[in-house]
């Protein structure tokens, strides 16, 4: 299983956060832009009922209904680390 190191997640978080106009986006749009950076196949991530569908390492979906808010950067980075590096349950 390929592990995404926490420092990589942090770098991507800060990179996305610095995009022009990013601070004016809604929370869902911010999360969508961030999670798209981790989508391995680069297809558009589909979001339905707080679940992102895409290709994220061993997983093909991320449930962000209980994720920290985008501006809670340390908690969100920790959450992403756990979610992105967890094996998909069958």
Q: Is the pTM of this model over 0.95?
A: no
Q: How many domains, in total, are found in the chain?
A: 1
Residues 30/66, Cβ–Cβ less than 8 Å? no
| pLDDT band, residue 90 (cuts 50/70/90) | very low
Residue 73's domain comprises 6-84
Question: Is residue 89 included in any domain, yes or no?
Answer: no
| pLDDT band, residue 48 (cuts 50/70/90) | confident
User: What pLDDT was estimated at residue 87?
Assistant: 63
- pLDDT tens per residue across span 1-45: 578 899 999 999 999 999 999 999 998 889 888 988 887 766 667
Q: How far apart are CA 54 and CA 76, in angstroms?
A: 19
Residues in a beta bridge with 57:
none
Question: Is residue 90 included in any domain, yes or no?
Answer: no
Question: Is residue 48 included in any domain, yes or no?
Answer: yes
Question: Is residue 1 included in any domain, yes or no?
Answer: no
Residues in a beta bridge with 47:
52
């Amino acid at each position: 299983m390929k592990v995404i190191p926490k420092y990589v997640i942090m770098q991507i978080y800060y990179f996305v956060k610095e995009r022009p106009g990013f601070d004016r986006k809604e929370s869902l749009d911010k999360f969508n832009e961030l999670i798209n950076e981790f989508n391995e196949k680069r297809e558009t991530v589909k979001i339905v009922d707080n679940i992102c569908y895409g290709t994220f390492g061993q997983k093909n979906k991320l449930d962000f209904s209980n994720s920290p808010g985008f501006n809670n950067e340390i908690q969100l980075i920790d959450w992403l680390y756990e979610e992105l590096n967890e094996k998909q349950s069958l």
